[in-house]
Structure 1
């Protein structure tokens, strides 16, 4: 047998898209890496709890705290295993589809398990949080949801993606997670400049798709960059929220939720979490292009106010276009941490908040921002999180500042991956 292949009994799910196994302690009775009889921890991708697999070591070494491996042959399969929806994201393949071998209901159960484990371990809160599917995903089998994809051309000019935990590019023939409009661009049959970075955006609302190559608009029909000074570099994102249609003008390379239903799902969840905020002052942190700012401004009404804080200048410009006629909205450009701690001059506007909404990057808000929010003593905090570990850490910081966890909802806005979106409510203890 290949010396890099090991046979493993697969244990519980771990955050990050893998399961935990233990390499048996050596036969002579000496201790393994984690104590007598326990064996070395191995994080194994492309498997499920209860399976027995042959796995190829991808990261190992006597000095390593734990090892990593890919399951390459299933000896005993889980009933939740299905044929991979994206074989190119399997063992040795690209990142971004690590749960493609898991039945869709089991993917959501997997994510629910991770959320509960992170809340228990990091926030010391025992909570079961079911994961809700987005509209249309069951019918599509969890595919065709991405309205934005990023590719890179390999040495021969074929479009592909980087292998998991690697800079090596694997050329692709298809990307099953991409929306129909992106599939129709036929990016994988074209030849590109080796090393070129290709971004494709196809808004769910029907706006014409847009392709950028190395950050510049690209004319697919002519097969070259678009040289016009007014070449389109933004798209219109149309979102239905609380019975109203909103149009957001968003830079093609700017942050926007990639699932076709995510903007509406999250905006509606935030409004429900806010409750009645008519006349209130709401602080919207990490406000991006204004996805939450706009419906919140309508919820607070003419006697209320929204103060939105965002660090990215392009996102603030995008937001300004959509809120320019809303006198109850103030947009502040600045690092959220510096604004909240008073190190930024914009902080003079952040002196009061009845409610705070925050949607931080994957790393979370962190202790400094959490304590600054708590110092305002808002009646409610609504936290939108794309990483359950970061959310749990910040919930612990909120607990230390006098807040307790209320309702938590979770949404499967990244099918076939381990990622999950949460909306949590924190209330004064």
Structure 2
């Protein structure tokens, strides 16, 4: 059936920005569709017996929430293999994008963790159509040196004339009409407190690019970060998460002198959020596997005498505490794991250290739900949850959850 075309009625949304339909009893995961639509699809993957994957070829009966795509090069009007990737919700009205993200998050929590949630996905300041927010952009280089994003679900570079999700400064600097022979990608970075950069790179090179320190601003606070290092991409995300983490901490459970931790801490953004809320006596340790980020974290947290930055993988750091007399009783732990989540080993170590509360920052709703399920099995409960639309016109959503021991 590979390449077969047929019409389907789209019924609901699934994790990953794809919709769900059925054809002759078989589940079909459909890209570029909206629940409630009837679309003509083409099968792109039939390797699994239980489901197929398909692309929308054309829309037969459009949803009331369908809009002209914010990125012409990603529109359903183009052949599927020529659609730019990275804006897979751009054909959906912004308010309905947030509703679909809410459904995915709430469904994952209910299905995987047994938690019913009335969470909503909050919009943050920016353009009403969800464009103009990316302060960091990576484009890829085709064999002929031209620049563009990958096509959706492939590694084919698509030439484009615009980058509408980019911030105005990033869009202005993006060299779409230049050739980059010898490079595999180009990064355009516009820090809030430093000059912007256009950086060609080669992902096949074994050496790490030379570090270059830039400054990011969150309110009046400055953060040192490497120009290619991790920093929140949306121009308002760092401030949003700072405030959300501060609000998520139960002040009655917080002890500034306990062994408070920021795990997967990067350059110390969330550790600083904690210390800013609770004052100069706050003890907090940030743990991060990237040594350069840890160096920057040490600099960013220097004003708090009770702070320290540790270079280590989180699982190894926690493993090293196992069997010792170490206890985190009374401690608050901020957890900001990668998209795959924290996982069983980290959760087991955390529970064994007996902290007072965990504030979990999640960029993947399924990983969050999986870890919430692990914590609930070990006697913890979800007490607070907020979600934020930090990636408009994509399927991604950020959530901040508070978990405490049950009872």
Q: TM-score, normalised by structure 1?
A: 0.87
1:59 alignment counterpart = 45
Say whether 1:82 aligns with 2:59.
Answer: no
Secondary structure at the aligned position of 1:135 is classed as: coil
Cα 1:122/1:283, change in 2 over 3 Å? same
2:303 alignment counterpart = 325
Q: TM-score, normalised by structure 2?
A: 0.91
Q: Which runs of 5+ in 1 are unaligned?
A: 25-38, 217-230
Say whether 1:296 aligns with 2:280.
Answer: no
Deviation at 1:253, TM superposition (A): 1.3
Distance 1:264 1:14 in 2: 29
Cα 1:351/1:109, change in 2 over 3 Å? closer
Q: Which moved more, 1:320-329 or 1:172-181?
A: 320-329
Say whether 1:406 aligns with 2:383.
Answer: yes
Q: Which runs of 5+ in 2 are unaligned?
A: 204-209
Cα 1:3/1:293, change in 2 over 3 Å? closer
Q: Contact conserved, 1:287 with 1:308, CA < 8 A, in 2?
A: yes
1:367 alignment counterpart = 344
Q: Contact conserved, 1:278 with 1:303, CA < 8 A, in 2?
A: no
Deviation at 1:414, TM superposition (A): 0.4
Say whether 1:233 aligns with 2:212.
Answer: yes
Distance 1:412 1:280 in 2: 34
Cα 1:350/1:172, change in 2 over 3 Å? farther
Deviation at 1:353, TM superposition (A): 5.1
Match of 1:208 among 192, 195, 203: 195
Aligned residues, how many? Answer: 392
Match of 2:233 among 258, 262, 278: 258
Deviation at 1:171, TM superposition (A): 1.6
Larger radius of gyration: 1
Cα 1:280/1:80, change in 2 over 3 Å? farther
Secondary structure at the aligned position of 2:36 is classed as: coil
Cα 1:194/1:65, change in 2 over 3 Å? farther
Secondary structure at the aligned position of 2:158 is classed as: strand
Cα 1:6/1:269, change in 2 over 3 Å? same
CA RMSD of aligned residues (A): 2.2
1:31 alignment counterpart = none
Distance 1:172 1:273 in 2: 41
1:36 alignment counterpart = none
Secondary structure at the aligned position of 1:392 is classed as: helix
Say whether 1:391 aligns with 2:368.
Answer: yes
Q: Contact conserved, 2:147 with 2:180, CA < 8 A, in 1?
A: yes
Cα 1:316/1:260, change in 2 over 3 Å? same
